[in-house]
């Protein structure tokens, strides 16, 4: 602690140091939502990140129970010019993007709305969820959404940054399917941003990333889906040239919009080439457009009919937590 404050004063940042501790004090009027280092909640929340590069030392954790409580907190933090970081799903690995040393860590863990509209056209999702949660909830309705391709990816980070998804050739980025955002603004107002209400903010939130406010609910177009044909097709080193040619052929003429591919060369003792193939069909397998890949003999393949929820669980196992 002493070393850190010495470094701060040498850098001439004494003022910053003072403002950091005031953030937690400013929140003290908020009941049961601010947690310090000696609490179990802090112990859990300060470590709840996908990547270990994010492990830092926030002065306190603010875990709002509602958008109203978050709005009260934001107003208090802005009033004292405090520093804070916000964590949604916690999947981003860039240090400091969703955690902070000494300032306030705001976590979305308890903003967990998850519901389907009566006409089944819209799914409303709180920022505390991962896509694995969302797909599992939608599966019994025969629905899915244009979200992350790996179950452990968080909802808000993906949607605010754009959102590459399995349905991209049909619907665009994940953010293109958002109909409405409930947002806490810097002045503590809670607004809906959509085509007719705060349309400039609605535009900015579609890929503009995280500095326009804190989104407390995403209303997304639901996508009808029972099963899809999907999996990973892996080939040995001798076929790498053919594999790369298949990737180039697909990319130069994506004539079937039900498709999505993720080709990769996998280094190791022996080089492998592996492609994630996704086809939005419950009854058609091995579509023509994938032939350049699937005609290469596989050393392993998980291609089969499955739900998006099952598939995101499968792909999620490819990313190691806590790295
Ligand atoms: C808040 O989130 C934490 C972590 O997921 C959970 O253990 C706790 O039960 C939640 N509290 C409420 C009131 O939802
Ligand atoms: C907060 O800012 C929004 C957007 O500029 C504005 O519409 C709203 O009236 C402001 N609220 C308060 C309480 O000042
Ligand atoms: C847009 O926001 C307005 C104002 O809050 C709300 O009445 C309307 O239902 C919203 N539209 C959508 C599509 O959510």
Q: What are the domain boundaries of the chain?
A: 5-107, 114-224, 228-316
**Residue in this structure with the two tokens 């993007």, named with its chain if needed:** 97
- The fold of the 114-224 domain, in CATH, is 3.30.465
Per-residue pLDDT at 230:
98
Region at 268 (left for phi over 0; alpha for psi -120 to 50; beta for the rest):
left
Distance from the alpha carbon of residue 186 to the mean position of ligand 2, in angstroms: 9
Whether domain 228-316 has CATH 3.40.50: no
Per-residue pLDDT at 16:
37
Whether the CB of 192 sits within 6 Å of ligand 3: yes
Per-residue pLDDT at 17:
44
Region at 142 (left for phi over 0; alpha for psi -120 to 50; beta for the rest):
left
- The fold of the 5-107 domain, in CATH, is 3.30.43
Mutate to test the pocket of ligand 1, among 34, 69, 110 (most ligand atoms within 8 A of CB): 110
Separation CA 179–CA 183 (nearest Å):
13
pTM: 0.92
Per-residue pLDDT at 113:
98
Per-residue pLDDT at 318:
87
Whether the CB of 180 sits within 6 Å of ligand 3: yes
Ligand in closest contact with the CA of 196: 3
Low-confidence ranges of the chain (pLDDT < 50): 1-20
Average pLDDT of the chain? 93
């Amino acid at each position: 602690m002493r070393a850190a404050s010495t470094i701060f004063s040498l850098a001439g940042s004494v003022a910053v140091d003072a403002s950091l501790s005031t953030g937690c004090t400013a929140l003290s009027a908020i009941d049961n939502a601010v947690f310090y280092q000696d609490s179990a909640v802090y112990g859990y929340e300060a470590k709840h990140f996908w990547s270990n590069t994010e492990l830092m030392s926030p002065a306190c954790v603010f875990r709002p129970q509602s958008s109203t409580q978050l709005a009260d907190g934001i107003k208090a933090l802005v009033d004292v010019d405090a520093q804070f970081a916000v964590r949604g799903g916690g999947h981003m690995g860039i240090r400091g993007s969703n955690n902070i040393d000494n300032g306030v860590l705001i976590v979305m863990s308890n903003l967990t709305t998850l519901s389907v509209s009566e006409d089944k056209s819209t799914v409303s999702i709180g920022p505390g969820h991962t896509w694995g949660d969302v797909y599992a909830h939608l599966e019994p309705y025969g629905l899915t959404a244009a979200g992350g391709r790996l179950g452990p990816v968080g909802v808000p980070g993906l949607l605010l940054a754009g959102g590459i998804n399995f349905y991209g050739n049909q619907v665009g980025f994940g953010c293109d399917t958002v109909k409405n955002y409930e947002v806490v603004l810097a002045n503590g107002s809670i607004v809906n941003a959509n085509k007719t209400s705060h349309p400039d903010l609605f535009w900015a939130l579609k890929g503009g990333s995280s500095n326009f406010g804190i989104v407390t609910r995403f209303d997304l177009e639901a996508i009808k889906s029972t099963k899809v044909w999907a999996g990973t097709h892996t080939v040995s080193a001798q076929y790498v040239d053919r594999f790369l040619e298949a990737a180039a052929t697909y990319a130069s003429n994506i004539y079937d919009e039900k498709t999505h591919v993720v080709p990769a060369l996998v280094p190791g003792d022996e080089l492998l080439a592996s492609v994630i193939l996704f086809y939005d069909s419950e009854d058609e397998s091995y579509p023509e457009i994938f032939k350049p890949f699937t005609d290469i003999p596989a050393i392993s393949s998980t291609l089969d009919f499955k739900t998006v929820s099952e598939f995101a669980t499968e792909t999620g196992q490819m990313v190691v937590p806590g790295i």
